Amino acid sequence: MPDPHRILDGLDPEQQRAVLASRGPVCVLAGAGTGKTRTITRRIAHLIDSGQVSPGHVLAVTFTTRAAGELRARLRALDISGPGASVQAQTFHAAALRQLRYFWPRGLTWELLDHKLPVVAHAARRVGVTTTSETLRDLASEIEWAKGSLIAPADYPARAAEAARDVPFGHDVVAAVFDGYEAAKRDGSHLLLDFDDLIIYAGEILREPDAASNFRARYRCFVVDEYQDITPVQQRLLDSWLGERDNLTVVGDANQTIYSFAGATAEYLLGFTRRFPDATLVRLQRDYRSTPEVVAVANQVIGAATERIPGTRLELIGQRDRGPAPRPAEFADDMREARGVVAQIKHLVNAGTPPAEIAVLYRVNAQSERFEEVLGEAGIPYQVRGAEAFFTRTEIVQAMHKLTDAAGRDDLPADSDAARVVRAVLAPLGLSTDEPVGPHAKARWESLRALMSVVDELLADEPGMSLRRLVSELTIRAEDRHTPERTGVTLASLHAAKGLEWDAVFLVGLTEGSVPIAQAIGHGPQAIEEERRLFYVGITRAREHLYLSWSLSRTGTGRVTRRRTRFLDGIDLDPRRSGRCSACGADLVSPESRVRGRCGSCRIEEHGDELLAALRTWRRDHAQERGVGELAVLTDAMLEAIADRRPADTESLAA
Ligand code: ATP
Ligand code: MG
């Protein structure tokens, strides 16, 4: 029997509304930590438990491997798999790749182009421009933006001019390089597909009616987490998945749009109810993740945005008990910063915070090195995470190339022992029998092990499976299997941290040139605002402890060359002490509100827990004074009403 209580447990009334909405379009528009991901996983559980869909019909997508891993972990915890196919929770790219492997037309072959810079360089040379490593990267990311935005090379100059794209060599040259790049990826009937092509081709393939009906029979219910990150080309793919149907649930926060450099836009999120006028729209404002102190800083940082996206003015309202004030720290140089941060980490660990509940987040991956060194010296376990998808990791790409080669060789007897061949290929890449030491070797080993465990499983199901079939099944399933373990301190980029949370978060390297990153400075307010949102994403990862640090010089130079990020200018890190409401950041005017640290003018439902606690205390005191009587009955009803967040009832009671 389905247990509705399990599904609705620990959800507030608004979240429940989103979970219970009847089939059809649902949009949850809400800030960080308000329970969007919790809500969609419960909604999936509800749709399954109530028999509206079966697990295999559900396709849930998001944008980074780690976010997809988080979704899978939460779905696993709800235990809704049942017999048959399970819910698919993947990145857009993994879903597209799976689809391509399934529906790819005969006669054409393809492989994944994992390193596109040499191909861009080749195209640039043919056009006659000399690139540096920076301009080459700029060209590649401009092509990514264009493809993500559904812009063809011929249309690029006009569209780029319209969007005031600031690129090296001018728009016409970029268009020519873009055109050459696309041509270079095709060699007769063999195609090289870059990551944007995966999405483009997956959409194209569904124009074929058989493929479309086949796909649509399989997937009937779609869920998108972090919907603010969708690009036009991904939206087109999503539309082709849907066809004429509207069983789509999206959740997102426009203030967390951090991929617009790649064409992502919150427009689809904000325009959802225009597209689906009968959609259930839910806005969530209560932040369950972070202490009011962290929430107040997040509200101030995003509130200071110079160009706010319409529809993003909802402030977060902290629901948790008070915690420590966020702590800023300035250091003379990088190495001192790393030592200072690690000293704090030690302090937290000694006081009982598990290392897995601590994260050090930075703007670019290169910044992790110093922290790795000092954490290593201190003997604190850690793991490094990049933002890259599982199947783009070097070891997986190498393994798949080698395995594809092996599968294509005709000197292998068709039923040779596939497991042995795979093991022989993976061993030199780092699949040792014993767990290696060192976080990098371990990360490599873990992903290869995920690959190998899928091989063993596929062969257990179907012992005679050919290597060729095995290879085509592999990466996708391995990605589903791969759940990076979280035992030590996490070192991750701000991009990779989205959707996740830790008890203690150290945002490091907070200098101009880093946050905002140098490339954004001087590229207009939009580029800066994207960096601000990234900073906001970082802040809102913290449940309790938030440390913000920066250093003034590069180690060894002794010259002050840096200054603190502009995003901390004017931010009050301890609003309580300086007379701001710890829930909403408003100025505290009356002396009572200053003592309480809350303004009291936020709506009653927003301060329900606090009111509840105050009433309980008040009743206890008065009950002692006067004995329990009518008063207790009256306040019981009030307490219940407030606990239910029914302000109207509370008002009538009071009257
Ligand atoms: P982000 O924008 O960062 O992705 P989110 O909106 O997806 O955040 P969740 O990760 O779902 O938020 O929830 C944040 C935290 O709050 C989680 O630890 C979650 O378990 C908890 N949470 C969510 N809703 C509630 C609730 N109604 N009561 C208590 N805790 C909740
Ligand atoms: Mg989330």
The residue among 443 and 268 whose pLDDT is bigger is 268
Q: Is residue 327 classed exposed, middle or buried when 0-12, 13-18 and 19+ CB atoms within 10 A define those classes?
A: middle
The residue among 484 and 287 whose pLDDT is bigger is 287
CA distance 4 to 34: 21
Q: Is residue 209 classed exposed, middle or buried when 0-12, 13-18 and 19+ CB atoms within 10 A define those classes?
A: exposed
Backbone CA torsion sign across 486, 490, 496, 497: positive
CA distance 338 to 371: 5
Distance 545 CA to ligand 2 centre (A): 19
Of 500, 536, 32, which Cα lies nearest the Cα of 285? 32
pLDDT (tens digit, 9 = 90+) per residue, 350-379?
999 999 999 999 999 888 889 999 999 999
Which ligand is the nearest neighbour of the Cα of 35? 1
Distance 291 CA to ligand 1 centre (A): 13
CA-nearest residue for atom 27, ligand 1, is 11
The C-alpha angle with vertex 438 and arms to 436 and 444, in degrees rounded to 5, equals 65
Mean pLDDT of 86-96: 88
CA distance 168 to 178: 13
DSSP-derived secondary structure for 5-57: HHHHTT--HHHHHHHHPPSS-EEEEE-TTSSHHHHHHHHHHHHHHTTSS-GGG
pLDDT over threshold 60, residue 607: no
CA-nearest residue for atom 17, ligand 1, is 289
User: Which of 1-5, 175-179, 231-235, 477-481 is predicted least confidently?
Assistant: 1-5
Of the residues 224, 288, 500, which should be mutated to test ligand 1's pocket, given the most ligand atoms within 8 Å of the CB?
A: 288
Report in angstroms the alpha-carbon separations of 259 from 113, 168, 312, 336, 389: 21, 20, 17, 32, 15
Distance 37 CA to ligand 1 centre (A): 7
pLDDT over threshold 50, residue 2: no
pLDDT at 256: 94
Band of residue 150 on the pLDDT scale cut at 50, 70, 90:
very high
- Ligand 1 atom closest to 15 (CA): 27
pLDDT at 646: 46
Distance 33 CA to ligand 2 centre (A): 7
Q: What is the mean pLDDT of the chain?
A: 85
Mean pLDDT of 7-24: 92
pLDDT at 389: 66
pTM for the model: 0.82
Provide the token pair at 228.
């603010």
pLDDT (tens digit, 9 = 90+) per residue, 516-548?
999 888 888 889 999 999 999 999 999 999 999
513 assigned ligand-binding residue: no
DSSP-derived secondary structure for 484-528: ----SEEEEETGGGTT--EEEEEE---BTBBTTBGGGTTSHHHHH
pLDDT over threshold 80, residue 645: no
- Quote the DSSP letter at residue 564: B
- Ligand 1 atom closest to 500 (CA): 3
The residue among 314 and 289 whose pLDDT is bigger is 289
Distance 655 CA to ligand 2 centre (A): 40
30 assigned ligand-binding residue: yes
Residue ranges with strand state E in 288-414: 317-318, 327-333, 358-362, 382-385
Distance 534 CA to ligand 1 centre (A): 19
CA-nearest residue for atom 2, ligand 1, is 32
What percentage of the chain reaches a pLDDT higher than 70? Answer: 82
| Phi, psi (deg, nearest 5) at residue 318 | -65, 135
- Cβ-contact 468, 323 below 8 angstroms: no
The residue among 195 and 622 whose pLDDT is bigger is 195
pLDDT (tens digit, 9 = 90+) per residue, 16-58?
999 999 888 999 999 999 999 999 999 999 999 999 999 999 9
pLDDT over threshold 60, residue 299: yes
CA-nearest residue for atom 20, ligand 1, is 38
Q: Give me the half-sphere count of Cα atoms (radius 13 Å) on the Cβ side of residue 219.
A: 23
pLDDT at 307: 67
pLDDT at 654: 40
Provide the token pair at 235.
């939206």
Band of residue 106 on the pLDDT scale cut at 50, 70, 90:
confident
CA-nearest residue for atom 15, ligand 1, is 289
CA-nearest residue for atom 31, ligand 1, is 288
650 assigned ligand-binding residue: no
- Ligand 1 atom closest to 32 (CA): 2
35 assigned ligand-binding residue: yes
CB-based burial, 545-568: b 16+ in 10 Å, e otherwise: bbbbbbbbbeeeeeeeebebbbbb
pLDDT (tens digit, 9 = 90+) per residue, 563-598?
999 999 988 887 666 677 766 667 777 776 766 666
Provide the token pair at 609.
């827990």
pLDDT at 473: 74
Which ligand is the nearest neighbour of the Cα of 41? 1
306 assigned ligand-binding residue: no
Of the residues 38, 258, 534, 543, which should be mutated to test ligand 1's pocket, given the most ligand atoms within 8 Å of the CB?
A: 38
pLDDT over threshold 60, residue 649: no
CB-based burial, 75-89: b 16+ in 10 Å, e otherwise: beebebeeeeebbbb
Which ligand is the nearest neighbour of the Cα of 282? 1
Distance 541 CA to ligand 2 centre (A): 10
585 assigned ligand-binding residue: no
Which protein residues are within 6 Å of ligand 1, measured from CB?
10-12, 15, 30, 32-38, 253, 256, 288-289, 499, 501, 540
Of 463, 464, 455, 339, which Cα lies nearest the Cα of 414? 464
What percentage of the chain reaches a pLDDT higher than 90? Answer: 49
CA distance 45 to 89: 13
Mean pLDDT of 164-177: 93
Contacts of 471 (CB under 8 A, 6+ apart): 400, 403, 404, 407
346 assigned ligand-binding residue: no
- In the structure, ligand 2 is a single-atom ion and the residues with CB under 5 Å from it are 36-37, 499
- Ligand 1 atom closest to 39 (CA): 11
User: Which of 47-51, 136-140, 206-210, 596-600 is predicted least confidently?
Assistant: 596-600
**Could you tell me which residues are beta bridge partners of residue 326?**
none
Q: Is residue 109 classed exposed, middle or buried when 0-12, 13-18 and 19+ CB atoms within 10 A define those classes?
A: exposed
130 assigned ligand-binding residue: no
CA distance 107 to 236: 26
645: Cα separation from own chain's centroid: 31
pLDDT at 310: 60
Distance 511 CA to ligand 1 centre (A): 30
Alpha-carbon dihedral 206, 209, 211, 214, rounded to 10 degrees: 120
pLDDT at 412: 55
Distance 36 CA to ligand 1 centre (A): 6
Question: Coil, helix or strand for 284?
Answer: strand
Distant-in-sequence contacts of 394-402, Cβ < 8 A, 24+ apart: 395/429, 395/430, 395/444, 395/447, 395/448, 396/447, 396/448, 396/451, 396/475, 396/478, 397/112, 397/114, 398/429, 399/425, 399/426, 399/429, 399/448, 399/451, 400/112, 400/471, 400/474, 400/475, 401/111, 402/429
pLDDT at 329: 94
- Cβ-contact 30, 272 below 8 angstroms: no
Residues counted in the chain:
655
| Phi, psi (deg, nearest 5) at residue 30 | -160, 160
Q: Give me the half-sphere count of Cα atoms (radius 13 Å) on the Cβ side of residue 146.
A: 31
CA-nearest residue for atom 13, ligand 1, is 35
Report in angstroms the alpha-carbon separations of 79 from 47, 66, 591, 632, 647: 14, 20, 50, 42, 35
Question: Coil, helix or strand for 571?
Answer: coil
Complex ipTM value: 0.99
pLDDT at 485: 64
- Cβ-contact 239, 263 below 8 angstroms: no
Distance 315 CA to ligand 1 centre (A): 16
- Ligand 1 atom closest to 12 (CA): 27
CA distance 653 to 634: 8
pLDDT at 482: 67
CA distance 559 to 556: 9
